[in-house]
């Protein structure tokens, strides 16, 4: 065998070192090489995460219909005929769109605020998410507001610095919902996406692009915007944002169901529960019960059925009013 000589051995050693560096310098988060035997990625944890309760109920869009809202809460076993919390340690999720299309939207918001406090005092939880209509009102998009929905905020009609000019009939509502307003600040306390046990809750849907961007990052940006501290986040308000997308709530294709599966795997969840798109006549599921669509159009505007989704360790069940 021909001798390398001193210089040859040095070059050979440097070559081995270079190969070792190349292996170690793979980008962070890159998938392991085939057959590497590494463990699966740890599920993504978000700030708005809660342990699985003994019993959870969820309901969708109520759009300014106070009567339908109370009926849903009674069907869930959350309140009695006097609107007092009787749910004990019950966990309730409402997936947004409490407002617009009906005259009772302020009354609903105030009821929800009280029930959040009352539920907590009794060992329960009342979790309310923001939907696209809450955020549209923060943009002063009042296309779907009724005359009664405007008048309900007349007591807030004094001039507020920084609020864009609107018609006098809308001034109180604008003061309430424009970022920094009293109701906008209440919205800022809510998440747009939450995980409770093995269920993901959102108004429209969660896509892989939202996970890549960062759920907590989106959530923080929405909160800062509603407090009047930052501009609105376009990723949330875009057509495929988490409060707007209908990817899973219309007729999802195999490709779309596959994406849902990847999202759930990444979040360590079994199902996604969403509102936004009316399902008539009943709550429906798709993608092998990985998608649950709970907006039944229960408000007077849509004249749909009052229904709630119940999730317990025993499974998922749709609760319906007796007729």
Nearest CA among 136, 154, 59 for reference residue 99: 136
pLDDT tens per residue across span 141-194: 999 999 999 999 999 999 899 999 999 999 999 999 999 999 999 999 999 999
25 pLDDT higher than 60: no
DSSP assignment of 94-119: E-S--SSSSTTHHHHHHHHHHHHHHH
Comparison of pLDDT for 31 and 67, the residue scoring more: 67
Q: What is the pLDDT of residue 40?
A: 60
Residue with tokens 């993504």: 44
Residue with tokens 């949330």: 236
28 pLDDT higher than 60: no
pLDDT tens per residue across span 236-270: 999 999 999 999 998 999 999 999 999 999 999 99
Q: What is the pLDDT of residue 114?
A: 98
Sheet holding 291-293, edge to edge: 49-50, 193-196, 199-202, 271-274, 291-293, 284-286
**Domains, the chain, with CATH or none:** 54-320 (3.60.21.10)
4 pLDDT higher than 60: no
Q: 133, 203, 210, 276: which is the annotated catalytic residue?
A: 133
pLDDT tens per residue across span 186-230: 999 999 999 999 999 999 999 999 999 999 999 999 999 999 999
Helix, strand or coil, per DSSP, at residue 156: helix
Q: What is the pLDDT of residue 131?
A: 98
Is 133 one of the catalytic residues? yes
CA 308 – CA 321 distance, rounded (Å):
9
Q: What is the pLDDT of residue 323?
A: 74
* Residues facing residue 93 across a β-bridge: 58, 127
Comparison of pLDDT for 207 and 22, the residue scoring more: 207
* φ, ψ dihedrals at 177, nearest 5°: -105, -20
Q: What is the pLDDT of residue 259?
A: 98
* pLDDT, averaged across the chain: 90
Q: What is the pLDDT of residue 135?
A: 98
**Confidence band, pLDDT 50/70/90 cuts, at residue 9:** very low
């Amino acid at each position: 065998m021909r001798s390398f000589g001193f210089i040859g051995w040095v070059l050979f050693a440097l070559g081995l070192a270079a190969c070792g560096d190349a292996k170690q310098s793979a980008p962070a988060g890159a998938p392991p090489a085939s057959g590497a035997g590494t463990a699966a990625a740890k599920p993504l944890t978000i700030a708005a995460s809660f342990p699985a309760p003994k019993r959870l109920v969820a309901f969708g869009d109520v759009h300014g219909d106070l009567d339908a809202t109370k009926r849903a809460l009674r069907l869930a076993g959350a309140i009695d005929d006097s609107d007092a919390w009787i749910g004990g340690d019950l966990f309730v999720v409402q997936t947004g769109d409490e407002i617009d299309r009906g005259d009772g939207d302020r009354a609903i918001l105030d009821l929800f605020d009280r029930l959040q406090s009352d539920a907590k005092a009794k060992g329960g939880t009342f979790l309310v998410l923001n939907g696209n209509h809450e955020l549209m009102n923060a943009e002063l998009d009042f296309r779907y507001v009724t005359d009664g929905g405007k008048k309900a905020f007349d007591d807030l009609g004094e001039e507020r610095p920084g609020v864009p000019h609107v018609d006098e009939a809308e001034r109180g509502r604008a003061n309430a919902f424009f970022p920094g307003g009293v109701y906008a600040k209440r919205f800022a306390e809510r998440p747009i996406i939450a995980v409770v046990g093995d269920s993901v809750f959102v108004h429209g849907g969660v896509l892989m692009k939202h996970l890549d961007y960062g759920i907590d990052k989106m959530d923080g940006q929405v909160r800062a915007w509603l407090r009047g501290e930052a501009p609105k986040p376009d990723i949330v308000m875009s057509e495929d944002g988490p409060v707007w997308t209908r990817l899973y709530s219309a007729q999802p294709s195999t490709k779309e169901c596959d994406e849902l599966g990847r999202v759930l795997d990444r979040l360590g969840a079994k199902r996604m529960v969403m509102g936004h798109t009316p399902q008539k006549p009943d709550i429906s599921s798709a993608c092998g019960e990985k998608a649950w669509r709970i907006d039944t159009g229960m408000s007077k505007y849509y004249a749909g059925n009052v229904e709630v989704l119940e999730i317990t360790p025993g499974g998922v069940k749709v609760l319906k009013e007796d007729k």
